[in-house]
A and B are shown apart, each in its own frame.
Chain A
Amino acid sequence: ETGVTQTPRHLVMGMTNKKSLKCEQHLGHNAMYWYKQSAKKPLELMFVYSLEERVENNSVPSRFSPECPNSSHLFLHLHTLQPEDSALYLCASTNSREAGELFFGEGSRLTVL
């Protein structure tokens, strides 16, 4: 238990569906991240929120839409995804963006058919 909870753990969706991934952190951290992990690739940063404001949008396609309603919750809204978007989506949080010590959730395994 890392203090960062992601749901759902597994998601299968069609290319026309709309779904959302949820992340909740119970650590009192002030920054939250979405990472994408594909097979044989490094972790790819997607979005960074600090104090509920987006500070990084790493050239992510608009079919991924993040939302950070408060410092404890982070969502990733998904619509009209492509099969190549199938991956493990990891949420992380930190109180130390400069030092880089991230606390990760268990991830949401997404399969797009």
Chain B
Amino acid sequence: EDKVVQSPLSLVVHEGDTVTLNCSYEVTNFRSLLWYKQEKKAPTFLFMLTSSGIEKKSGRLSSILDKKELFSILNITATQTGDSAVYLCAVPAIRDDKIIFGKGTRLHILP
């Protein structure tokens, strides 16, 4: 069965800390892995990863994919209170035309 597992489920750190969020997956015919940030309502797109070992960066956020070990990490450096959100990992399952989401990691940044 296709699945996406995120860890940790929740994380509380202080402003300025660096955090690493994990996403492992088991999906037939893997094409891509996506990270979303969900603050209040609509998840917003962060990264799409398709190739192993190539880091994607956007400001203080970066992400990398390991297709051999079937996981991805999302790093956030010098965290700010505005980074508090739920971070979702998703993988399209081409066979069933579904996009499978993990449960998310709820990140809370303390001032």
Of the residues A2, A4, A100, contact of B31 by C-beta under 8 Å: A100
State the Cβ distance, B31 to closest chain A Cβ, in Å: 6
Q: Which of A40, A97, A103, A105 is close to B97, meaning CB atoms less than 8 Å apart?
A: A97
Q: Does the CB pair A48–B101 fall under 8 Å?
A: no
Interface status of B68 (Cβ within 8 A of chain A): no
Contacting pair A104 B34 (CB below 8 A): no
Taking the complex as formed, is A58 at the interface, i.e. its CB lies under 8 A from any CB of chain B?
A: yes
Count chain A CB atoms within 10 A of each CB in B44, B92, B98, B99 and give the residue with the most: B99
What's the Cα separation between A112 and B94 when bound, in Å?
Answer: 34
Q: Is the CB of A102 within 8 A of B104?
A: no
Interface residues on B, range: 20 to 34
Q: Give the residues in chain B near A103, CB-CB below 8 Å.
A: 45
Closest to B5 in A: A42
Instruction: Give the residues in chain B near A97, CB-CB below 8 Å.
Output: 92, 97
Q: How long is the Cα–Cα vector from A87 to B85 in the complex, in angstroms?
A: 18
- Inter-subunit contact A99/B41 (CB<8 Å): no
A56-B97 contact, Cβ under 8 Å, with A90-B42, A104-B43? yes
Contact of A58 among B32, B98, B101 (CB under 8 A): B98
Q: Is B88 an interface residue (CB 8 A)?
A: yes
**Residues 89-107 of chain A: 1 if any B CB is under 8 Å from the residue's CB, otherwise 0?**
0100000011111111111
A48 to B96, CA, bound (A): 11
Q: Name which residue of chain A comes closest to B90, CB basis.
A: A100
Q: A113 at interface (Cβ–Cβ under 8 A)?
A: no
* A-binding residues in B (CB < 8 A): 4, 31-32, 34, 36, 41-45, 48, 50, 88, 90-92, 94, 96-104
Interchain Cβ contacts under 8 Å between A and B, 5 examples: A2-B44, A33-B99, A42-B104, A101-B34, A104-B43
